[in-house]
Structure 1
């Protein structure tokens, strides 16, 4: 009977060892010429205007705009040579100045206002929604309106304004008014508010509101008598 035995004293033979060969000839050290190079994913660059460029563009735009506005203003003033119209109370007539039984005061005034336009190339259109108020010591006496009209270039217009009103006058104001009449110096305030459009050739510009406050001192307020204007002071303003 044949039995396979080796020289190990009857023990079976050792299993065969398998060795994994590397690219470095079996050495455990990595080859000197190989390197692990990291890979980076390239991202496309975005094209756009930086903050500095945007700021520079804005500054250039504003500078050009300012230059254009200054040039336009200079050309406008050089060509049209605008001047503010002047207003003056020419005379004041009293139609009625009566104390009523209920101690109220009824007055009728006729005021002539001279409006002068000194401009050679600018006209003015005075609108309908105007108001004229005559007051004494802060209390209104009478009111009325300016007529709507167009004032041409280099023109002087005399405007007639009829004012009527009934006001609640207390005993204190009546006593002060009688005292002023006795001394021959009566302070009045005429307040005018009127919408005005500037006319450049055929072009009507945006309407503005002109306010004229005229502080007068007159010598009398008796009806049907010549009223003398002792002093006058004017303040003109305009708003959109």
Structure 2
């Protein structure tokens, strides 16, 4: 009756503001990112809890962050802006050497949240979801002034709406525009006694 469809996610921009690897193989980083979430349903809304984002560069964990939860209305495109960081996180010496030697890094992000859906007045229980995004690269941003940021998102149709969720503001430096697609994995645990 409702023809339910899964939401879709894409990393639309990423700024590697800092990535330092000390002689003791400790990583300090700051990552600023934009994720675009689209709800293709006409009558189903999604309610997300806080989203935990874990970033990796060349397979090494380089930053964690949290984006506030939000309501994703039917037919809505939401642009999520957030930041992740690491402070003296120790990595394997081989991985640390690799991070030091590269100018550009293969990036990926795992985002975990709980989500429930709403149809009219009905609200479901929340279930665990994981969004996996990969296939994009980023180089360390230079600290030079940049023009105002451009939001990279598909223009919604006239009957659709768009909202922006922010957890931090961006500072000066280059932003890498990506079109990295993401895979959504739904985890439903069924207990039988």
TM-score, normalised to structure 1, is 0.60
Q: Cα distance, 1:96 vs. partner?
A: 2.0
Matched residue pairs, number? 158
8 Å Cα contact 2:37-2:79 kept in structure 1: yes
In structure 2, the residue matched to 1:238 is 186
In terms of Rg, which structure is larger? 1
1:191 to 110, 129, 137: 110
Q: By percentage of residues, which structure has more strand?
A: 2
In structure 1, the residue matched to 2:45 is 123
Higher mean alpha-carbon deviation, 230-239 vs 151-160, is at 230-239
Gaps of 5+ in 1: 1-78
How do residues 47-58 of structure 1 correspond to structure 2 at under 5 angstroms? none
How do residues 12-51 of structure 1 correspond to structure 2 at under 5 angstroms? none
CA distance in 1, matches of 2:5, 2:179: 25
In structure 1, the residue matched to 2:119 is 200
Name the Cα RMSD after superposition: 2.0
TM-score, normalised to structure 2, is 0.73
In structure 2, the residue matched to 1:171 is 93
Q: Does the residue aligned with 2:74 lie in a helix, a strand or coil?
A: coil
CA distance in 1, matches of 2:61, 2:40: 32
Q: Does the residue aligned with 1:105 lie in a helix, a strand or coil?
A: strand
CA distance in 1, matches of 2:122, 2:94: 52
8 Å Cα contact 1:218-1:231 kept in structure 2: no
Gaps of 5+ in 2: 144-172, 189-193
For residues 123-160 of structure 1, give each alpha carbon's deviation from its aligned partner in whole angstroms, at most 9, with x where no partner exists: 000013x3110013432111011211111111011011
For residues 48-91 of structure 1, give each alpha carbon's deviation from its aligned partner in whole angstroms, at most 9, with x where no partner exists: xxxxxxxxxxxxxxxxxxxxxxxxxxxxxxx2111111101110
Higher mean alpha-carbon deviation, 83-92 vs 135-144, is at 135-144
For residues 151-190 of structure 1, give each alpha carbon's deviation from its aligned partner in whole angstroms, at most 9, with x where no partner exists: 1111011011111113213432133224432xx4x21120
Q: Does 1:111 align with 2:38?
A: no
